Amino acid sequence: MQDTREACSREKERTMKRMTIEELPGWIPPKHYDLLVRTIAGQPDGVNHFNVGFGRMEKKGRCDPHVHDDMEQLFIVLKGAMMMKVGKEEFLLKPGQAVLVYRGEVHSNWNVSGTEETEYLTVTG
């Protein structure tokens, strides 16, 4: 019973987290080029089942084809335009559009807006 009380006490100590996305540290995932991702929520925050990232892809931004064997990934375009390739299918994503890539699916994406950056969210879990 003691362990349960301690776990509940630790849970109660956590509170919501406010942030300014531009102030979060950025990182470049492997096999990704001319883009920066800022993790909004993930393991460092005590979130164990998913990650949320804000990506900003430069005009020439892209990533090589890759696969996630242990997680799904949702892309939501906020600004600009992004081409996605999932398996053999290629399609355009504009603001307000999204794609869910299932674990094991080979995928890649690149900026096609031409004159501006593409901004998007990823939810991975």
Q: Which residue has the tokens 């799904």?
A: 72
Band of pLDDT at residue 77, cut at 50, 70 and 90? very high
CA 3 to chain centre: 34
Q: Strand 118-124 vs strand 73-79: parallel, antiparallel, or unpaired?
A: antiparallel
Confidence (pLDDT) at 5: 47
Do residues 87 and 115 lie in contact, with contact meaning Cβ atoms separated by under 8 Å? no
Strand partners of residue 55 = 37, 120
C-alpha R_g of the chain? 17
The domains found in the chain, sorted by start residue, are: 19-124 (2.60.120.10)
* Per-residue model confidence as pLDDT tens digits over 10-69: 555 778 889 999 999 999 999 999 999 999 999 888 898 999 999 999 999 999 999 999
